[in-house]
Structure 1
Amino acid sequence: MTLYYSLVFVLLVTEMALFMLLIVPLPFTIRRKMFNFISESPLVAKLQYGMKITFIFILILFIDSVNRVYRVQVELAEANKTQGGGTAVLGHERMEVQARKFYSQRNMYLCGFTLFLSLILNRTYTMILDVLRLEEKVKSYEGDSAAGGKEGEKLANAGSPGEIAKLRKQLAQKTQDFETLKKQSEGLSREYNRLGDEKTEADVTPKKDR
């Protein structure tokens, strides 16, 4: 294996180790600190930029290995046709072609799996960040001031169980007051209509007497 394919293999093993680290169940606080360091560290940002350039070269190697596999397949097909036409193909030549086919396929799989795992790592990292943000919001709404710093404390004070119970009590009191005012308004409306009817009858009765 040449040097650059050896480096690709080391990168593949590193990606596998990182993937295992991402999916290992850890406490929320430790996981949050770890991902905050990864997302905020300038060193990690530079490393990610360098990895993007590295993956571009790996993509070029992958395309080259696919091309080599295709050429070896064509060469084997031509050799089989020649052997079928009556011309003997030497055993060591056929073994050489088979060996080149094996190495080309190995390099293609190595580069392909490295690129594929890089996409999986990127997607897994993004999904875990989203889950952590959602967990912080949930903990903030539940009253955990440690979940979001100052903003989490504000949300905790606004959404603590005691505060919610107090607001519910106030809402029930306001609802009761509204119902009381509604009943009083209906009573006043009925009384007003009754007095209006009595006044109308009183006005009509003297006219009849006349």
Structure 2
Amino acid sequence: MTLYYTLVFMLLVAEMALFMLLIVPLPFTVRRKMFAFISENPLIAKLQYGLKITFIFILILFIDSVNRVYRVQVELAAATESAGNAGSAIMGHERLEVQARKFYSERNMYLCGFTLFLSLILNRTYVMILEVLRLEEKIKIYEGTDKNTKQQEKLAVAGEPGEIARLKKELARKDEDLKTLKEQSAGLTREYHALSDKYAETQQQDSTPKKDK
């Protein structure tokens, strides 16, 4: 195996290890930190850019290996047709050489093909996991189970979202305000009646005729 195909094989092994790491069940916090590090780290971004260029070269190798497999197939068919014109020993040697070239060409084609195919799977899996993490974070915020909404979680009844608990708190506060207003209204009513009674007594005293001396 040549040097560049050896590097392709090492990249394929690295992709398999990375894929296993992605599908391993991890806690939500650990997974969120890991993907945040991958998404925000500038070194990872440069590495991804370099891998894109590498995959372009692997694509060229894949096309070349497919071309070699096709040419070997043509040579093998031509050698089989010319079997009657050559000796059996020479024919057997040529056929063995062509079959060996066919094996190496197919191996290189499968190696490059699986490397490219697994890169597409990794990219799609990475995007899907990021989307799932975003949705899980939104759900946790809505249900009041995130760290930023612990106060809402304390106010919520078991199994109720934090938004419902917040609305219940506002409703209780409005009930207290309404109760206070009712008490103030009752006090004002009592004061009004007391003043009305005093005013009526004053009017009665003024309307009573005074005796002449």
Deviations 1:38-64 (A, max 9, x none): 000000000000000000000000000
CA distance in 2, matches of 1:17, 1:136: 27
Q: How many residues align?
A: 166
2:168 to 161, 165, 171: 165
Unaligned runs of 5+ in 1: 171-210
Amino acid at match of 1:50: G
Asked if 1:140 is matched to 2:141, the reply is: yes
CA distance in 2, matches of 1:131, 1:155: 24
Q: Is the contact made by 2:61 and 2:112 (CA closer than 8 Å) also made in structure 1?
A: yes
Unaligned runs of 5+ in 2: 156-160, 174-213
Q: Give the superposition deviation at 1:159.
A: 3.8
* Aligned alpha-carbon RMSD (Å): 2.6
Q: Give the superposition deviation at 1:131.
A: 0.1
Structure ID, larger Rg: 2
Asked if 1:58 is matched to 2:58, the reply is: yes
Amino acid at match of 2:107: R
Amino acid at match of 2:120: L
Alignment TM-score, normalising by the size of structure 2: 0.71
Q: Partner residue of 1:126?
A: 127
Matched-pair identity in %: 73
Q: Give the superposition deviation at 1:31.
A: 0.2
Q: Partner residue of 2:20?
A: 20
| Cα distance change of structure 1 residues 168 and 100 upon mapping to structure 2, 3 Å threshold | farther
Alignment TM-score, normalising by the size of structure 1: 0.72
Q: Partner residue of 1:87?
A: 86
CA distance in 1, matches of 2:52, 2:70: 27
| Cα distance change of structure 1 residues 168 and 63 upon mapping to structure 2, 3 Å threshold | farther
SS at match of 2:86: coil
Deviations 1:7-39 (A, max 9, x none): 000000000000000000000000000000000
Q: Is the contact made by 1:143 and 1:161 (CA closer than 8 Å) also made in structure 2?
A: no
Q: Is the contact made by 1:72 and 1:100 (CA closer than 8 Å) also made in structure 2?
A: yes
Q: Give the superposition deviation at 1:87.
A: 3.1
Q: Partner residue of 1:191?
A: none
CA distance in 2, matches of 1:28, 1:106: 40
Amino acid at match of 2:168: A
Q: Is the contact made by 1:73 and 1:101 (CA closer than 8 Å) also made in structure 2?
A: yes
| Cα distance change of structure 1 residues 145 and 86 upon mapping to structure 2, 3 Å threshold | same
Q: Give the superposition deviation at 1:144.
A: 2.6
SS at match of 2:101: helix
Q: Partner residue of 1:35?
A: 35
CA distance in 1, matches of 2:119, 2:97: 33
Q: Partner residue of 1:101?
A: 102
CA distance in 1, matches of 2:114, 2:4: 15
